[in-house]
């Protein structure tokens, strides 16, 4: 299934609801992850078709962020390099990078406090092609996040708040 890039937020919100997740009040992080895994297998029209393979990828991030009232967060992100936004004839042309984020914020609790002091704060961007290679990368990413006790604790905690956004990260 191909979806227009501008409808990505709406499509992901629909998939979240189908998994029983309300984007504005996530109560099941694992269900949100399953929705993300489904969404990451959809082809997005408008993504830069350049052969370099970093036009469509994902990352999981965690820690404490000032823009979340300094709360602990766990964020699921899909990043898209959009080709049809700007004039390619412009000598300074660069692809627009858009990020669709599901950010979940947590209150400070004993089992989550180490989330902001780990040596790593994300999984690194992954850009495998849609299909079996992306499914394998998702499984590896899930396993990687669960190696960190505080991230694993966030995965089973109920977020205090959550939100879905889709913005240019240029």
Above pLDDT 70, what percent of the chain? 91
| Average pLDDT for 151-156 | 95
pLDDT digits (tens, 9 = 90+) for 14-69: 999 999 999 999 999 999 999 999 999 999 998 887 766 689 999 999 999 877 78
Element counts in the chain: helices (H) and strands (E): 4, 6
99 DSSP β-pair partners: 79, 167
Q: When comparing pLDDT for 113 and 25, which is higher?
A: 25
Which of left, alpha, beta for 62 (phi over 0: left; psi -120 to 50: alpha)?
A: beta
Task: Determine the pLDDT at residue 54.
Answer: 83
Burial class (CB in 10 A: 0-12, 13-18, 19+), 62: buried
> What CA–CA distances, in Å, run from 46 to 73, 94, 164?
30, 15, 21
């Amino acid at each position: 299934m191909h979806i227009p890039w501008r409808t990505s937020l709406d499509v992901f919100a629909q998939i979240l609801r189908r998994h029983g997740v309300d984007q504005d009040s996530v109560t099941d992080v694992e269900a949100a992850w399953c929705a993300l895994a489904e969404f990451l297998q959809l082809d997005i029209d408008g993504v830069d078709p350049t052969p370099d393979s970093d036009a469509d990828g994902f990352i999981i991030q965690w820690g404490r962020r000032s823009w979340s009232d300094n709360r602990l967060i766990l964020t699921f992100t899909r990043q898209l390099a959009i080709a049809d936004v700007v004039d390619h004839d412009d000598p300074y042309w660069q692809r627009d990078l858009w990020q669709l984020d599901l950010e979940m914020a947590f209150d400070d609790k004993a089992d989550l406090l180490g989330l902001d002091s780990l040596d790593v704060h994300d999984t690194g961007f992954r850009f495998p092609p849609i299909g079996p290679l992306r499914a394998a990368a998702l499984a590896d990413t899930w396993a990687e996040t669960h190696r960190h006790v505080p991230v694993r604790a966030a995965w089973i905690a109920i977020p205090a708040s959550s939100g879905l956004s889709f913005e240019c990260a240029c």
